[in-house]
Chain A
Amino acid sequence: MTLTEIRIHGRGGQGNVVAANLLAMAAFETGRYGQAFPNFGAERRGAPVIAFVRIADTTILRRCQIQSPAFLIIQDEALLNIPGVTDGLLPGGKILVNSSKAADEFPTPEDTELITLPASQIAKQNLGRPVPNTALLAAFLGLTNLFPIDALVKVLAHKFSGSTLERNTQLIHQAVEQVPVGQWQEAIHATGN
């Protein structure tokens, strides 16, 4: 069984839980099993928050927190300065960061790879609001080929319609264009335990 474990770090108000839920729902759209849950702490805007996503071909039984993810999605680059954010990332693990800086401007743990995406900018351009979550998910799916991005569009179509859906779809395609598609494909098979 392939089990892919993803940890999303963000700040309260950035749509961290929404991002985790969207990813699990999109996985479900493709016939996979998706599990998403938050790690709630201080529930206030700006506070660092974490959400977890597991995606597998079959039913996921475990409900513990993800201590050894294969992937980190970081919605705010400043979170990388907080101790513990990259803890447990598997060897060969991948980090996707919302930033307009170049990847080599960030220190990364040994044997891991970091890619940046100006997700807030892309969101600002397309939606008028700097909410990075959907762009990051789209880029993540592009990088990993975990499943087609159409599934993400389909999930958004349950929530939005008309021009809002159109602008989100445009944002998804724009985000994918900015990353090397398929570069992280092998890492989806890495599991901690």
Chain B
Amino acid sequence: MQQAIEGSLAIARAVALCKPQVVAAYPITPQTHIVENIAKLVADGILDCNLVSVESEFSAASVVLGAAAAGSRTYTASASQGILLMCEVLYNIAGLRIPTVLTCANRAVSAPLSIWNDQQDSMAVRDAGWIQLYCADNQEAVDTTIQAFRIAERCELPVMVCVDGFTLTHTLEPIEIPDAEQVNTFLPAYQFSRRLDPQQPISIGTLLSPDLFPEARHSHHQALINAEAEIISAADDWAKISGRAGPALLEANGPEQARIGILIMGSVYGTLADARNHYTDLEPVCLIKLRAFRPFPVKALQDACKGLDELIVLDRALSPGSGGILGNEVRAALYEIEDAPRIHNFAIGLGGRDVPMDTLPKLIAAVRENRHEHFRVFDAVLEKLPEEDR
């Protein structure tokens, strides 16, 4: 049934439908509403789970690691500094091939201190070995959360569901919350093959000599590559059960004659799609919504870019001294194909800077003025800076 509710509450309800046995909760803006709402569901007797109020994000990640290794379905959520504090444990969770689901309510990273949305936090842990899925709206956040548990458990890999902080987490809108029956059909009970069991003791996380380390890393890499198939199958199966078709790896949306494409991860997609409907005098544009950032869907991306002459890649994060993180990944993926589009990479909406409707015509104008821009912070007003910093 569709309900007008806040994104965070919808995510909490989606988590509850997946019946995690252990949830680690630690507050941080703009994530707090998610774990608060889960705590309410537990208190109200709607979710039967062990809610552990920890004293830091490092502990939150450690709790889910241990509980999942012992065979529990687990969940936690965080953002920004919290994700950074978790970082060491995030690598361990992934390297130990422990299935868990974490919502990252995407937020800028300090300093300068900002509580507002960009995607610097999840980008900072992109190499931790987690699957990363980015949501364009709150319905996708709900559906992705449910799919994430199945993907994690089938691949024995952790999944980070990335949801733009405030823009999605604090937005109230009509959202379809699935029935328990639908989720039960989709998601079988969690069975962990390498469960820590005192009756059949095993060790995990032991020292690995150079004799086997590269093979372990190869195997982890391969597991992520192979996860593409599970991400697709989860999206397909959930579409059949829920009646809602959502993106799997990515979704390209635009007329065939479009020669210009814009690629984005997260909630700015909606504003660009609305702007495309609104500014009817613009040339045709293909909007590409990238959902899977890890594994990075090279083949799907190459296919989606066929026929495009220009591709604008919008980053919601920055690698200072290099440029856009997503931009560079897309460049690498398209380098191998013939007739690859020219790539124009911009960071936009850093630290919560609003991305208004007229961004779309401005982006197209920037490209059509025929300047090839390797990278630029698109909405930075350089006049605000002293001459020497521009």
Does chain A have a CB within 8 A of B300? no
Residue from the list B172, B270, B271 in contact with A25, Cβ < 8 A = B172
- Are B271 and A65 in contact, with the CB atoms below 8 A? no
Given the interface pairs A62-B357, A64-B357, the reply to whether A34 lies near B4 with Cβ below 8 Å is yes
- Are A62 and B270 in contact, with the CB atoms below 8 A? yes
Query: What residue of chain A has the Cβ atom nearest to residue B6's Cβ?
Result: A21
- Which chain B residues border A65 with CB–CB below 8 Å? 354, 356
Residue from the list A25, A37, A40, A61 in contact with B4, Cβ < 8 A = A25
B30 to chain A, nearest CB (A): 8
Query: What residue of chain B has the Cβ atom nearest to residue A21's Cβ?
Result: B172
Give Cα A60–Cα B139 distance, bound, in whole angstroms. Answer: 13
A-B interface contact total, Cβ < 8 Å = 68
Interface centre among A20, A38, A62 (most CB of B within 10 A): A62
- Which chain B residues border A29 with CB–CB below 8 Å? 4
Query: What residue of chain B has the Cβ atom nearest to residue A23's Cβ?
Result: B172
Query: What residue of chain A has the Cβ atom nearest to residue B2's Cβ?
Result: A28
- Are A36 and B355 in contact, with the CB atoms below 8 A? no
Given the interface pairs A40-B166, A64-B355, the reply to whether A35 lies near B172 with Cβ below 8 Å is yes
- Which chain A residues border B116 with CB–CB below 8 Å? 40
Does chain B have a CB within 8 A of A24? yes
Give Cα A63–Cα B269 distance, bound, in whole angstroms. Answer: 9
Does chain A have a CB within 8 A of B275? yes
Give Cα A61–Cα B4 distance, bound, in whole angstroms. Answer: 15
Does chain A have a CB within 8 A of B342? no
- Which chain A residues border B6 with CB–CB below 8 Å? 21
- Which chain A residues border B275 with CB–CB below 8 Å? 62
Residue from the list A33, A36, A67 in contact with B356, Cβ < 8 A = A67
- Are A193 and B172 in contact, with the CB atoms below 8 A? no
Name A29-57 residues within 8 Å CB distance of B.
29, 33-38, 40
- Which chain B residues border A24 with CB–CB below 8 Å? 4, 172-173
Give Cα A37–Cα B170 distance, bound, in whole angstroms. Answer: 6
Does chain A have a CB within 8 A of B56? no
Does chain A have a CB within 8 A of B278? yes
Q: A36-B173, A60-B173, A61-B277 provided; 11 other pairs, C-beta below 8 A? A: A21-B172, A33-B173, A33-B174, A34-B174, A37-B172, A40-B116, A40-B166, A60-B274, A64-B354, A65-B354, A67-B354
- Are A61 and B355 in contact, with the CB atoms below 8 A? no
Q: Mark B146-185, 1 if CB is under 8 A from A, else 0.
A: 0000000000000000000011101111100000000000
Name B1-39 residues within 8 Å CB distance of A.
3-4, 6, 30
Interface centre among A27, A36, A37 (most CB of B within 10 A): A37
Q: Mark B107-143, 1 if CB is under 8 A from A, else 0.
A: 0000000011000000000000000000000000000
- Which chain A residues border B267 with CB–CB below 8 Å? 63
Q: Mark A141-152, 1 if CB is under 8 A from B, else 0.
A: 000000000000
Query: What residue of chain A has the Cβ atom nearest to residue B116's Cβ?
Result: A40
Query: What residue of chain B has the Cβ atom nearest to residue A54's Cβ?
Result: B173
Name A113-142 residues within 8 Å CB distance of B.
none
Interface residues of B (CB under 8 A from A): 3-4, 6, 30, 115-116, 166-168, 170-174, 267-268, 270-271, 273-275, 277-278, 354-358
Give Cα A141–Cα B356 distance, bound, in whole angstroms. Answer: 27
- Are B273 and A61 in contact, with the CB atoms below 8 A? yes
A2 to chain B, nearest CB (A): 14
- Are A34 and B173 in contact, with the CB atoms below 8 A? yes
- Are A61 and B271 in contact, with the CB atoms below 8 A? yes
- Which chain B residues border A27 with CB–CB below 8 Å? 4
Residue from the list A33, A36, A193 in contact with B357, Cβ < 8 A = A193
- Which chain A residues border B270 with CB–CB below 8 Å? 61-63
- Are B357 and A35 in contact, with the CB atoms below 8 A? no
- Which chain A residues border B166 with CB–CB below 8 Å? 37-38, 40
- Which chain B residues border A28 with CB–CB below 8 Å? 3-4, 174
Q: Mark A60-94, 1 if CB is under 8 A from B, else 0.
A: 11111101000000000000000000000000000
- Are B171 and A35 in contact, with the CB atoms below 8 A? yes
- Are B172 and A36 in contact, with the CB atoms below 8 A? yes
- Which chain B residues border A36 with CB–CB below 8 Å? 171-173
Give Cα A35–Cα B167 distance, bound, in whole angstroms. Answer: 11
Give Cα A67–Cα B174 distance, bound, in whole angstroms. Answer: 23
- Which chain A residues border B3 with CB–CB below 8 Å? 28
Query: What residue of chain B has the Cβ atom nearest to residue A28's Cβ?
Result: B4
- Are A63 and B171 in contact, with the CB atoms below 8 A? yes
Pairs across A and B, CB under 8 Å, 6 listed? A25-B4, A34-B173, A35-B171, A61-B277, A62-B274, A65-B356
A84 to chain B, nearest CB (A): 14
Give Cα A28–Cα B6 distance, bound, in whole angstroms. Answer: 13
- Which chain A residues border B172 with CB–CB below 8 Å? 20-21, 24-25, 34-37
Give Cα A45–Cα B84 distance, bound, in whole angstroms. Answer: 30
B290 to chain A, nearest CB (A): 17
Give Cα A34–Cα B175 distance, bound, in whole angstroms. Answer: 11
Give Cα A37–Cα B172 distance, bound, in whole angstroms. Answer: 6
Interface centre among B30, B174, B278, B354 (most CB of A within 10 A): B174
Would you list the 10 A-B pairs with minimal beta carbon distance, nearest first? A28-B4, A61-B274, A62-B274, A61-B270, A37-B171, A36-B172, A25-B4, A62-B271, A64-B356, A65-B354
Query: What residue of chain A has the Cβ atom nearest to residue B359's Cβ?
Result: A64
- Are A37 and B271 in contact, with the CB atoms below 8 A? no
- Are B273 and A37 in contact, with the CB atoms below 8 A? no
Query: What residue of chain A has the Cβ atom nearest to residue B3's Cβ?
Result: A28
